[in-house]
Structure 1
Amino acid sequence: MTTAKDIMHPGAQWIPAHETLDRAAQLMREMEVGSLLIADQDERLAGILTDRDIVVGCVAMGHDPSKITAGDLAQGTPRWIDSDADVGEVLQEMQSHQIRRLPVIQDKRLVGMISEADLARHLTESQMGAWVEQVYARG
């Protein structure tokens, strides 16, 4: 059985909710990633911040990224998957919530992230096509 841990990208990183968006963008550049997980003061998942969130939710609105925090952009209920979950569960979670990135948790600790690129490396063409159709479908 292939699990979430088998297909995830290890090394996902938290950013504290109180950290500013300019610092988040610097971290993304340094790490060569397009998203960071947002953690509350107890290191619980509070959301995911993407480079697009920074551009659309801050810069394009005329706000100063040195004054807006990651927590200011956190919205909705954060989704995650246990590291031992079967790939079918991973796909179901991402499809049912139309999400493109999914944090992987093991023993209440962040161990990685599953992205579209990770799926593309591990799924068949048929599985990937079905995933794309569901995640990108407009409701």
Structure 2
Amino acid sequence: MPTAREIMTPDATCIGAKETVLDAAKKMTELGVGALPICGADERLKGMLTDRDIVVKVLGSGKDPARVKAGDLAQGEVVTIGADDDAEEILRTMSRHKVRRLPVIDGHVLVGIVAQADVARALPDPKVGDLIESIST
């Protein structure tokens, strides 16, 4: 069974907790992604920021994305996966927390992201179908 390190997208780009949501949106556009990890000055993962967060929590609330800091949207404990955890643990974690992306950490260092698409490419169809169903319900 492959590990997170083997199926992740490496070199995840963080948005700094003190950078604005507008900066994050520009970075997402530039990278062609729908989510960015939020990292603090200490390089530790603080949360995940999604394009949906920007629309619902900032724009939909009438807030100015040039004034809201990415770190202001980091909530609760971040759901992560260890770099050497196997695909079964990835499936369990994604299903349990109903997330489509998992930051991959090695110790406390962010080393990549495992997205639903990475899982789909790496695992047999029935397992992927089960994951998508559990996330979607």
Residues 54, 116 of structure 1: CA spacing in aligned structure 2 closer, same or farther, 3 A cutoff? same
Check whether the contact 2:14–2:37 (CA below 8 A) recurs between aligned residues.
Answer: yes
Q: Does 1:99 align with 2:99?
A: yes
Aligned partners of 1:112, 1:44: CA distance in 2, in Å?
A: 13
Q: Does 1:131 align with 2:131?
A: yes
Partner of residue 76, structure 1 = 76
Aligned partners of 1:134, 1:76: CA distance in 2, in Å?
A: 22
In structure 2, what residue type is equivalent to 1:14? C
| TM-score where L is the length of structure 1 | 0.93
Partner of residue 86, structure 2 = 86
In structure 2, stretches of 5+ residues that fail to align are: none
Counterparts in 2 of 1:8-87, with a 5 A limit? 8-87=8-87
Partner of residue 117, structure 2 = 117
| TM-score where L is the length of structure 2 | 0.94
**Identical positions, percent:** 47
In structure 1, what residue type is equivalent to 2:15? I
Aligned partners of 1:82, 1:123: CA distance in 2, in Å?
A: 18
Shift of 1:98: 1.0
Shift of 1:108: 2.6
Check whether the contact 2:44–2:110 (CA below 8 A) recurs between aligned residues.
Answer: no
Aligned partners of 2:21, 2:107: CA distance in 1, in Å?
A: 29
- Hey, which bits of structure 1, 4+ residues long, moved more than 4 A? none
In structure 1, what residue type is equivalent to 2:82? D
In structure 2, what residue type is equivalent to 1:133? E
In structure 1, stretches of 5+ residues that fail to align are: none
Number of residue pairs aligned between Structure 1 and Structure 2: 137
